Amino acid sequence: MNQHNLYNTLTEFNLGNGKQGKFYSLPALESAGIGKISRLPVSIRIVLEAILRHCDGKKVTEQHIRELANWQPNANRTEEIPFIVARVLLQDFTGVPLLADLAAMRTATAKTGKNPKLIEPLVPVDMVVDHSVQVDVFNQPDALQQNMQLEFVRNRERYQFLKWGMQAFDTFKVVPPGIGIVHQVNLEYLARGVMEKEGVYYPDTLVGTDSHTTMINGLGIVAWGVGGIEAEAGMLGQPVYFLTPDVVGVNLTGKIREGITATDVVLTITEMLRSAKVVGKFVEFFGEGAAALSLPDRATIANMAPEYGATMGFFPVDESTCAYYTATGRSAAQVDSIRNYFKAQGLFGIPQAGDCDYSQTLELDLGSVVPSVAGPRRPQDRIELDHVKSKFSDLFSLPVSAGGYGKSAEALTSRVPCGDSTLGHGDVVIAAITSCTNTSNPSVMLAAGILAKKAVALGLTVPSHVKTSLGPGSRVVTEYLKAAGLMDALGDVGFKLVGYGCTTCIGNSGPLPAAIETAILDNDLIAASVLSGNRNFEARVHQNVKANFLMSPPLVVAYALAGTMNKDLSTEAIGNGKDGKPVYLKDIWPSLEEVAAVMSTATNPETYRALYADFTADNPLWAAVPAPVGSVYDWDADSTYIQQPPFFDGAAGDSGVIHGARALAVFGDSVTTDHISPAGSIKPSSPAGKFLLEHGVDKADFNSYGARRGNHEVMMRGTFANVRIKNLMIPGSEGGVTRHQPDGEEMAIYDASMLYQADSTPLMIFAGEEYGTGSSRDWAAKGTKLLGVKAVIAKSFERIHRANLVGMGVLPCQFHTGTDATTLKLDGSETFDLLGLENGITPQQDVQIVIHRANGTTDTTMVKLRIDTPIEVDYYQSGGILPFVLAQLLA
């Protein structure tokens, strides 16, 4: 660390136990007259500390310090912040391709005759393997063991590669499969609160290659999700650059009422903040209501920042934060250092109204929150519980063009044969307690167990058509459910342990029973899933389940027992008990007192210490995976999982001027990264499926797109291959199809791309609002690049995906208000020129799109170039962030 004493800010604070520690003092910076720092939002102050500490006059300058110290709530945002994080967090779907890129950089470095160890993460990197377990086996006592055995068979090559990375890179650590979900492991184990290097103490900050990295904001840690592309640069010493943000303050008042869960609160906040358009902004929670929330409730709210569109959903550090660190097994000395550090910085405690200056202030009375679910396609589409039945009924017969399912109202009650029973529209076929959002929160997990216990006592059972699963966020959850006497009750209603991982929420829901799958497909049934997750985008949970609803774990159990979305659980009976009498939700819903009575089972520090002490104990499957050695990876040309990525082939970046481009696709609003680069199952008839079959992979061994992200040949074929994506060039179509021009032949997007690239025809994508919403999926940008797309022109972009496109050397451009592909009457028969960058690139400048129509006429429109910062210009002109970083390291 390059220690300096700029503005006399390097000073000491009381660590505890009579010890002193050095730190860069923000109060001292304010005393030096640099700015009114004590009025800044807490999240901005933590970023400011990192800039002050890393000031070297090159990457980070005094000007950067002064600009951020004088942050104004409503200024024009033109300055970029060079944020150097303390650590990086990966999950395996995004982490494996990142490791492949690092390995490829070492290969490229070795070819130049230089030491490949030049490529080494400069900050600690932790990867948690949590995305690879699938729910193949469920409602069986040994489902966990069977699913893990299948996971290790499918992913052996990937896990060998991870073990190579562990020995090749000094700062790269892996939490193996079967331990927990990355964000919950981060909360319970990896988070440090305060870190130390060379005697200097500083806040724990990070970026992660998963958008729900924001969950750690609940612990007062500044962090957010980035693409693997940005994370790689951060690991290799590059700052994470971002525009100085607006900060929206959310004043939480009141308290949560009886019968209301943290999930109800977060779905309400998601709807409210998505409507307030907080995309790309920091959100900071304050007020008496925020201070009264438990730490797990704060983490639940912070987790869903990507769903409400914010960069962060931040809760400052206070005594509840320290209590959580203690309860999860951190040492007294560590907790003391956290408390004393944040007090010394003037950052301890949840601010009250008027304490900080915010760009905008919103308010929510927690007492106004009512029981809610979200769906059937987006997490921000909240439905009050007593309206779920009527909402589903309305959507069922609403035209597809209006967001409905386009069925006749009469068909809603029809049923078809399915094995020994029948199946109908709205029947729940998947019910999953899963994901990082809720399984980290003991209040809702214990509530689910209490509800199950009451249901069992009354004789309720889950219908046979419901695939039930319990995928906790860590092994701690099963321990406290057992200690509370609730694990057996969950198992009795079908929620037996299937694995410790993301499972259903990431699309690893596994296959449905054959009879159910056949009934759905043959009769085009609008089947439903209910899950305690954070994402319910089309075809994410299961490609044949079209209605997907997010809800609290106890509601997941309740809807599983009801077996259908066509019941109003607020007034109608869930079912009949063993005495033949109807049982209502109110009969089995857990009270606050019942939950509180068992809450102590979740706050035993010894449980956390024991379960996180040794990841290899009781993990023979991981121990049996062989570990390749060497500092340079020995690529296997026959592997269908890990291939040397083509991003370091020395190709120069583009100038930005484009002539004679064709539209590869024209999309509408809310095209997500799940649409662009699906993570779930691979269809045999898709280009990726055909590729795997041609390479000797049986359909049963396809695994998922997420698991094959280390192979660019599979991933580029999977780009835009989601079965629900709608290319408006072919009205009424679904799936990754387009028209190749000028012949107009309909074909797979991948096949059309290959024909265009053979003719050296540049390509463009056109899209609507919120393009790229969803997980921080670098392959959505990498696949776009490899398909030959030079520019993506959309009405608006999700923050991470826009940055990722630039990072891959693809131009993101934004339509001006009132203009889009529809108003321009684009049908895909046109050719396009992009002009205005002939003399260089200026961030956010206007450029001209010239439209040459098939009838010989020409139109023009102006769009905003969404290369937002000067460093992004450098990335783009280098062909992307990865070639840029490699060139810097080799220089």
Burial (CB count <10 Å: 0-12, 13-18, 19+), residue 440: buried
**pLDDT for 474 beyond 90:** yes
Given a contact cutoff of 8 angstroms between Cβ atoms, the answer to whether 559 and 381 are in contact is: no
Question: What are 393's two structure tokens?
Answer: 């009924």
Question: What are 180's two structure tokens?
Answer: 């927990």
- Give DSSP secondary structure letters for 867-879: --SHHHHHHHHTT
Residue with tokens 């009527």: 390
Q: How confident is the model at residue 703 (pLDDT cuts 50, 70, 90)?
A: confident
Given a contact cutoff of 8 angstroms between Cβ atoms, the answer to whether 250 and 284 are in contact is: yes
Residue with tokens 């783009």: 876
483-494 residue pLDDT tens: 999 999 999 999
Q: How confident is the model at residue 686 (pLDDT cuts 50, 70, 90)?
A: very high
CA dist 175 and 91 (Å) reads 9
CA distances from 769 to 398, 676, 772 (A): 22, 14, 9
**pLDDT for 807 beyond 80:** yes
Given a contact cutoff of 8 angstroms between Cβ atoms, the answer to whether 42 and 347 are in contact is: yes
Q: Please name which of 806, 807, 778, 777 lies closest in space to residue 792, comparing C-alpha atoms.
A: 806
Given a contact cutoff of 8 angstroms between Cβ atoms, the answer to whether 858 and 631 are in contact is: no
Give the residue, 41 or 242, on which the prediction is more confident: 41
**pLDDT for 651 beyond 80:** no
CA distances from 539 to 187, 377, 468, 546 (A): 29, 9, 18, 7
Q: How confident is the model at residue 224 (pLDDT cuts 50, 70, 90)?
A: very high
Question: How remote is the C-alpha of 53 from its chain's centroid?
Answer: 29
CA dist 891 and 878 (Å) reads 14
- Give DSSP secondary structure letters for 331-369: -HHHHHHHHHHHHHTT--S---TTSS--SEEEEEEGGG-
Q: Taking residues 88-93, what's their average pLDDT?
A: 93
815 forms beta bridges with: 863
176-215 residue pLDDT tens: 999 999 999 999 999 999 999 999 999 999 999 888 999 9
Q: Are strands 19-24 and 10-16 parallel, antiparallel or unpaired?
A: antiparallel
The overall average pLDDT reported for the chain is 95
CA dist 111 and 649 (Å) reads 12
Question: What are 853's two structure tokens?
Answer: 């129509």
What pLDDT is stored for residue 429 in this prediction? 98
Rg for the chain (alpha carbons), in Å? 26
CA distances from 331 to 176, 186, 335, 337, 558 (A): 24, 16, 6, 10, 39
406-420 residue pLDDT tens: 999 999 999 999 988
**pLDDT for 720 beyond 90:** yes
CA dist 454 and 869 (Å) reads 57
CA dist 60 and 414 (Å) reads 65
What pLDDT is stored for residue 776 in this prediction? 62
Q: Please name which of 247, 257, 205, 246 lies closest in space to residue 226, comparing C-alpha atoms.
A: 205
**pLDDT for 708 beyond 80:** yes
Q: What is the 8-class DSSP label of residue 571?
A: T
**pLDDT for 882 beyond 90:** no
Q: How confident is the model at residue 704 (pLDDT cuts 50, 70, 90)?
A: confident
Q: Taking residues 610-631, what's their average pLDDT?
A: 91
What pLDDT is stored for residue 58 in this prediction? 85
CA dist 234 and 262 (Å) reads 33
Give the domains, in start order, of the chain with CATH numbers: 6-82 (no CATH), 87-368 (3.30.499.10), 372-586 (3.30.499.10), 658-890 (3.20.19.10)
129-180 residue pLDDT tens: 999 999 999 999 999 999 999 999 999 999 999 999 999 999 999 999 999 9
Q: Please name which of 552, 265, 547 lies closest in space to residue 389, comparing C-alpha atoms.
A: 547
- Give DSSP secondary structure letters for 736-800: SEEEETTTTEEEEHHHHHHHHHHTT--EEEE--TTBTBSS--HHHHHHHHHTTEEEEEES-B-HH
- Give DSSP secondary structure letters for 482-543: HHTT-HHHHHHTT--B--SS-GGGGT---PPPHHHHHHHHHHT---EEEESSS---TTTS-T
Q: How confident is the model at residue 620 (pLDDT cuts 50, 70, 90)?
A: very high
3-class DSSP state of 151: helix
Q: How confident is the model at residue 375 (pLDDT cuts 50, 70, 90)?
A: very high
What pLDDT is stored for residue 648 in this prediction? 87
Q: How confident is the model at residue 709 (pLDDT cuts 50, 70, 90)?
A: very high
Q: How confident is the model at residue 295 (pLDDT cuts 50, 70, 90)?
A: very high
User: What is the number of alpha carbons within 13 Å of residue 483 lying toward its C-beta?
Assistant: 17
CA dist 666 and 653 (Å) reads 25
Given a contact cutoff of 8 angstroms between Cβ atoms, the answer to whether 160 and 625 are in contact is: yes
3-class DSSP state of 379: coil
Given a contact cutoff of 8 angstroms between Cβ atoms, the answer to whether 772 and 676 are in contact is: yes
531-566 residue pLDDT tens: 999 988 888 899 899 999 999 999 999 999 999 999
- Give DSSP secondary structure letters for 587-644: HHPPPHHHHHHHGGGG--HHHHHHHTS-SSTT-HHHHTS----SSS----TT-SS---
Which of these ranges, 123-127, 237-241, 300-304, 581-585, has the smallest mean pLDDT?
237-241
733-782 residue pLDDT tens: 999 999 999 999 999 999 999 999 999 999 999 999 999 987 667 899 99
Q: How confident is the model at residue 833 (pLDDT cuts 50, 70, 90)?
A: very high
